Amino acid sequence: MRRFVIKGNICYSKSINELCITENGYVVCEDGICAGVYKELPECYGIFPFYDYTNHIIIPGFTDLHVHAPQYPFRGLGMDLELIGWLNTHTFAEEAKYSDIEYARKSYDIFVEDLVNSATTRACIFGTIHTQATTLLMEKLESSGIKAYVGKVNMDRNSPLYLQEKSAGQAFEDTEKWITRSLNYENVKPILTPRFIPTCSDGLMEKLSILQKKYHLPVQSHLSENTGEIKWVKELCPDTSFYGEAYSKYGMFGNEYPAIMAHCVHSGGDETSLMKKQNVFIAHCPESNTNLSSGIAPVRAYLELGIKTGLGSDIAAGSSLSIFKAMAMAIQCSKLRWRLQDQSLAPLGISEAFYMATKGGGEFFGKAGSFEEGYEFDAVIIDDSTIKHPQKLNARERLERLVYLAEDKNIVAKFVNGKKLFEKTAHS
Amino acid sequence: MRRFVIKGNICYSKSINELCITENGYVVCEDGICAGVYKELPECYGIFPFYDYTNHIIIPGFTDLHVHAPQYPFRGLGMDLELIGWLNTHTFAEEAKYSDIEYARKSYDIFVEDLVNSATTRACIFGTIHTQATTLLMEKLESSGIKAYVGKVNMDRNSPLYLQEKSAGQAFEDTEKWITRSLNYENVKPILTPRFIPTCSDGLMEKLSILQKKYHLPVQSHLSENTGEIKWVKELCPDTSFYGEAYSKYGMFGNEYPAIMAHCVHSGGDETSLMKKQNVFIAHCPESNTNLSSGIAPVRAYLELGIKTGLGSDIAAGSSLSIFKAMAMAIQCSKLRWRLQDQSLAPLGISEAFYMATKGGGEFFGKAGSFEEGYEFDAVIIDDSTIKHPQKLNARERLERLVYLAEDKNIVAKFVNGKKLFEKTAHS
């Protein structure tokens, strides 16, 4: 039936500046859809099944707008290089292992288990070039109940032969086979995933563009992460005036088909305008941009322009799947950017960070990431009693503290689209 | 007896560039002192009691070189201001509560319990101006087995009347009483703690200088954290040419009596030279400096100059007691400083961060923070099996991962100066 009432301290965003909190409130799920938040429960819902989480913090699930599942094994490792060196030294070697389906099974079991136990309910995920391993990942996610877009990665140049598609034609064939196999899941959907311009030939981009139109697929990729990368793209695409154009000229930069571009640390005015105009989603990945010494994206500017912006863990350039951690890093990096680079953009606060983590990124999935009426009902139940304190705290303060201090053990139950994924008994 | 052998993956620093790792090795404790690390156990130690932590990572305990115990209740809260506004809005109001000994008891119980469960074995701790509450904190730490320097805070100007000593004379009297009561603990020692120059009158500094000489006490304070603060000190002390001189002229800047100065984000050349010359310890607090938008200290420069440098959690401007987190933030902030501010200082790596967390800060306690022969035997036993992976990892990689991903649940046993503080049974 997927109809029930949850009681607790309900926290959700309406907009960048509106963080709504109802202490000891009720949030109602009807057929998997949110039927509103109430201070007093309307009589008509009195007959619904009832979950009493009175002392807990209740949030809509987080969306991880950019994460590489196959890189999960080396999270927290190899943090000594910038982007291109890091890809060549650590990343490609690890991703190549997914030609071995048994390795993929072991690794993706761990990834999906940890994702389920996190506060994330929805994610946009990169696989590898391997169709079999990517299908396996999708099957595991499908049964977990997490909602996800998953992409088989495309790349046919500037990468080691052991991790490269043989030709644009072969890539087209393999990718179409993978797409047609991926269309009938309930929770998981395919998303086109050209790795990034340096590893995708014009021929490949043309082929992907054909598949995009044929199957009406969204797309995810990387954009303007590192200054060396941007220079390289300029050399590779002399006919474009900025990096984003190299996607846009193949129709893979928003507009008709939704697009997520990760990073946008160094996007200039034209690129930013085009993202705004074509409704491109930005996946802000502050820990990744820090670990790879890429820089700090001007997130407040993006938010104030009304560009759709969410948060990404960017495993394994980011070390942690925790979107709480991404929120903390977004705030922290915005402060350092303000101090060291540009005092015209005020630092972010809890309100903006929580918005990006929930409704901002959730919008890629339609109406997701909020407890406003009509939104798909995702909820994460948080027991913060392990974070002890001698004084009284209100729900807003408890939420703020969680941004910095939440651990997976604090996540005690999770619902996605009205379906309960798990519920832990006390300190299980 | 305090003599035993531990088997496991032994990790410790000899210097900034020498991170030593012995996989499946042995480390020997004899009378509370480290008797060396061995690949094969020498026969003479065969009769010692034996702890088998074969699969675990073994590190010397961390030193938290700068932490405010009374601020622990609001860790992760009130992160929206710079230093002076933050002190006036959040900090002083919380610290004032410690005139109530019952509130202090509740709060310090939590602080000490969490400190014991962390990977920290030694700490330099600020209390409040209240002698009774500070003594209570010292008693709790003494029975916990943690080694600590604890300071009753001194402040007699530029702070609210409810959190200010009445006069320099009264401060002298109260502080001397507190010192004489604090001299006979085994694990805990008093340290002079003028809060920082803006809240300490010349008269107070003179009195503290008398106490320092009389009781041979070390000192801890704050230095060059925030640009507004530095400007203020210039106005308050027109006879000094840099901030550090305002301590130095009272003999409270190293040399005869050891001194810890927290932050040093904006120290100029003269200040840095004087710290080097007088063996001042720097407590680098990267999370705090980020959360209060203070900036990023040039830590590599300090390390290369040979200035004694350790890490501080700086609760509650830092949100977490975890020195693993301080290590990660030290590395991450050094990368952003390199990218945004000054490419002449290369980012820090695991080796430098681990050195600061262990031997660097440990030196304030004498021979502490290493498994080299003759060091006081502190050890933290880490079970990282919750951080799952499909591939093989060596001990160095596992240690690197822990910097980013360790949680308190991974700390399964702790020894300080040869005494076992706790040992958790599997997943307790």
pLDDT tens, position by position, B50-75: 999 999 999 999 999 999 999 999 99
Interface check A277 vs B, CB under 8 A: no
Interface check A405 vs B, CB under 8 A: yes
Within a domain: A177:
yes
Please indicate whether, in this complex, the C-beta atoms of A390 and B79 are within 8 angstroms of each other.
no
Domain end point (choices A365, A390, A408): A365
Within a domain: B428:
no
Within a domain: A428:
no
In B205-343, DSSP assigns E strands to 219-223, 259-263, 281-284, 309-311
Best CA proximity match to A136, nearest among A172, A92, A182: A182
Q: For each of chain B's 428 residues, which pLDDT tens digit applies?
A: 689 999 999 999 999 999 999 999 999 999 999 999 999 999 999 999 999 999 999 999 999 999 999 999 999 999 989 999 999 999 999 999 999 999 999 999 999 999 999 999 999 999 999 999 999 999 999 999 999 999 999 999 999 999 999 999 999 999 999 999 999 999 999 999 999 999 999 999 999 999 999 999 999 999 999 999 999 999 999 999 999 999 999 999 999 999 999 999 999 999 999 999 999 999 999 999 999 999 999 999 999 999 999 999 999 999 999 999 999 999 999 999 999 999 999 999 999 999 999 999 999 999 999 999 999 999 999 999 999 999 999 999 999 999 999 999 999 999 999 999 999 975 44
Which chain B residues touch A103 with a CB distance below 8 Å?
A: 390-391
The whole-angstrom separation of Cα A77 and Cα A16 is 34
Interface check A423 vs B, CB under 8 A: no
- The torsion angles phi and psi of B281, rounded to 5 degrees, stand at -85, 135
In angstroms, what separates the C-alpha of A2 from chain B's closest C-alpha? 33
DSSP lists the bridge partners of residue A126 as: A68, A151
Interface check B162 vs A, CB under 8 A: no
Residues near B341 by beta carbon (within 8 Å), at least 6 away in sequence: A340, B296
The whole-angstrom separation of Cα A322 and Cα A313 is 7
Residues A324 and A390 in one domain: no
* C-beta of residue B421 within 8 angstroms of C-beta of residue B116: yes
The whole-angstrom separation of Cα B373 and Cα A377 is 60
In angstroms, what separates the C-alpha of A89 from chain B's closest C-alpha? 15
* C-beta of residue B364 within 8 angstroms of C-beta of residue B353: no
Please indicate whether, in this complex, the C-beta atoms of B73 and A391 are within 8 angstroms of each other.
yes
Domain containing B114 equals 62-365
* C-beta of residue A278 within 8 angstroms of C-beta of residue A249: no
Residues B101 and B187 in one domain: yes
Interface check A81 vs B, CB under 8 A: no
Q: Determine the pLDDT at residue A425.
A: 76
CB atoms within 10 A of CB A160: 12
**ipTM of model:** 0.97
Interface check A323 vs B, CB under 8 A: no
Tokens of B270: 């003269």
Q: Which amino acid is at A363?
A: E
Which chain B residues touch A401 with a CB distance below 8 Å?
A: 75-77, 319
Residues A316 and A395 in one domain: no
* C-beta of residue B247 within 8 angstroms of C-beta of residue B277: no
CB pairs under 8 A between A and B: 126
Q: Determine the pLDDT at residue B42.
A: 97
- Residue A395 maps to which CATH number? 2.30.40.10
Residues A287 and A396 in one domain: no
The whole-angstrom separation of Cα B220 and Cα B357 is 18
Domain end point (choices A365, A384, A404): A365
Within a domain: B285:
yes
Please tell me whether the overall predicted TM-score, pTM, comes out greater than 0.95 for this model: yes
Residues B114 and B185 in one domain: yes
The whole-angstrom separation of Cα A358 and Cα A355 is 5
Residues A183 and A54 in one domain: no
Q: Determine the pLDDT at residue B425.
A: 76
- Residue A108 maps to which CATH number? 3.20.20.140
Domain end point (choices A318, A336, A365): A365
* C-beta of residue A127 within 8 angstroms of C-beta of residue A179: no
* C-beta of residue A320 within 8 angstroms of C-beta of residue A313: yes
Please indicate whether, in this complex, the C-beta atoms of B293 and A335 are within 8 angstroms of each other.
yes
Within a domain: A104:
yes
The whole-angstrom separation of Cα B225 and Cα B389 is 40
Tokens of B218: 């070390």
Q: Between helices B131-144 and B101-117, what is the axis angle to 10°?
A: 30
Residues B43 and B69 in one domain: no
Please indicate whether, in this complex, the C-beta atoms of B388 and A114 are within 8 angstroms of each other.
yes
* C-beta of residue A208 within 8 angstroms of C-beta of residue A246: no
Please indicate whether, in this complex, the C-beta atoms of B76 and A331 are within 8 angstroms of each other.
no
Within a domain: A224:
yes
* C-beta of residue A217 within 8 angstroms of C-beta of residue A191: yes
Best CA proximity match to A14, nearest among A43, A32, A31, A36: A36
DSSP lists the bridge partners of residue A259 as: A219
* C-beta of residue A188 within 8 angstroms of C-beta of residue A141: yes
**Alpha helix positions (H), B29-159:** 83-86, 92-96, 101-117, 131-144
CB atoms within 10 A of CB A54: 10
Residues B84 and B55 in one domain: no
The whole-angstrom separation of Cα B34 and Cα A307 is 58
The whole-angstrom separation of Cα B251 and Cα A420 is 64
Residues near B183 by beta carbon (within 8 Å), at least 6 away in sequence: B189, B190, B215
Q: Is the dihedral of CA B280, B159, B315, B183 positive or negative?
A: positive
The whole-angstrom separation of Cα A189 and Cα A172 is 18
Interface mutation vs chain B, best among A77, A108, A313, most B CBs within 10 Å: A77
Q: Determine the pLDDT at residue B1.
A: 64
The whole-angstrom separation of Cα A106 and Cα B25 is 29
Mean pLDDT, consecutive 10-residue stretches, chain A (428 aa), reads 93 97 98 98 96 97 98 95 92 97 98 98 98 98 98 97 96 98 97 98 98 98 98 97 98 97 98 98 98 98 98 98 98 98 97 98 98 98 98 97 96 97 75
Residues A123 and A207 in one domain: yes
Residues A178 and A43 in one domain: no
Secondary element (H or E) of residue B57:
strand B50-59
The whole-angstrom separation of Cα A126 and Cα B317 is 36
Tokens of A351: 């309100």
Residues near B202 by beta carbon (within 8 Å), at least 6 away in sequence: none
CA A69 to chain centre: 11
The whole-angstrom separation of Cα A159 and Cα A146 is 31
Residues B180 and B94 in one domain: yes
Within a domain: A361:
yes
* C-beta of residue B313 within 8 angstroms of C-beta of residue A359: no
In angstroms, what separates the C-alpha of A117 from chain B's closest C-alpha? 13
Residues A87 and A121 in one domain: yes
The whole-angstrom separation of Cα B152 and Cα B346 is 38
- Residue of chain B whose alpha carbon sits nearest to that of A343: B293
CA max distance for chain A:
66
Secondary element (H or E) of residue B395:
helix B395-405
Best CA proximity match to B292, nearest among B133, B22, B78, B41: B78
Facing A336 at nearest CB: one of B94, B328, B336: B336
* C-beta of residue B264 within 8 angstroms of C-beta of residue B290: no
Q: Is the dihedral of CA A390, A395, A400, A405 positive or negative?
A: positive
Facing A290 at nearest CB: one of B80, B114, B335: B335
Facing B347 at nearest CB: one of A74, A293, A335: A293
Q: Between helices B202-215 and B168-181, what is the axis angle to 10°?
A: 20
Number of domains, chain B? 2
Which chain B residues touch A287 with a CB distance below 8 Å?
A: 332
* C-beta of residue A395 within 8 angstroms of C-beta of residue A11: yes
Within a domain: B271:
yes
Q: Determine the pLDDT at residue A419.
A: 96
